[in-house]
Structure 1
């Protein structure tokens, strides 16, 4: 789980970007789930319920009753009525893919002979006017 900015939090939050659903007032709306913890979630949507609205948060088989505790622009904080088990939270957090380490490698110089055609092309390039050379 993410340990940044958790000094003011009661529980650690995991940064995610997943699709979830908020159900409230007989309607259901899709939201982007931005982070998730045992006690709440940060969601994003064009239209959000107002502060204080009771909501039912749904992400796959994760269902939690809660309420909107704050709204700021397209973001809203959802506080769950009961704390989720850490294993339940982790089940909905994707495992990060390992970062690919760049492999810096260049071929070594070899002492093989050039063909007569390669020799002719190299000499014509060296003796050609510099305006026709790429990068100059």
Structure 2
């Protein structure tokens, strides 16, 4: 990540080009993770989030949550609260299921749902839409 004017980087960086998935308030997107340190990473995305956005990144089985600190074109830097096990992340070793006592849950990404789960979700969405339309028509007519 880029250090600000007069700031030195305190953590060693490891260069890697790893594919991953990023989730923010706008959805889930594919990303590439570049250099990684114990407290952050450089990420490249077709849809970079705005500075200050909280993001979740899943790369090589590791879940990394942090805040976007800077954005430059398609590249941006993410600063994490928890330390990253850089060697395990780069090597692709399995990540621990627990980080600082908190269980990491799988992302609820509709793109990875089974067909049955997608049919059920869209069916419920359709029923909700029809019920809402019925109530609106009933309210406006009467």
TM-score by length of 1: 0.58
Distance 1:59 1:72 in 2: 21
Partner of 1:4: none
Structure 2 unmatched ranges of 5 or more: 1-6, 92-142
Runs (4+) of structure 1 moved beyond 3 Å? none
Partner of 1:93: 90
**In the TM superposition, what is the alpha-carbon distance from 1:57 to its structure 2 partner?**
1.6
Q: CA RMSD in A?
A: 1.9
Partner of 2:45: 45
Partner of 2:16: 16
Structure 1 unmatched ranges of 5 or more: 1-6, 95-136
CA contact (8 A) 2:14 2:35 kept: yes
TM-score by length of 2: 0.56
Q: 1:66-96 deviations in whole A, cap 9, x for unaligned? A: 0100000110000012222xxx2102224xx
CA contact (8 A) 1:64 1:81 kept: no
CA contact (8 A) 2:20 2:30 kept: yes
Distance 1:10 1:21 in 2: 27
Give the match's secondary structure for 1:91: helix
Q: 1:98-117 deviations in whole A, cap 9, x for unaligned? A: xxxxxxxxxxxxxxxxxxxx
CA contact (8 A) 2:60 2:90 kept: no
Structure with max Cα Rg? 1
Alignment map for 1:48-67 (pairs within 5 Å): 48-67=48-67
Partner of 1:100: none
Partner of 2:131: none
CA contact (8 A) 2:43 2:78 kept: yes
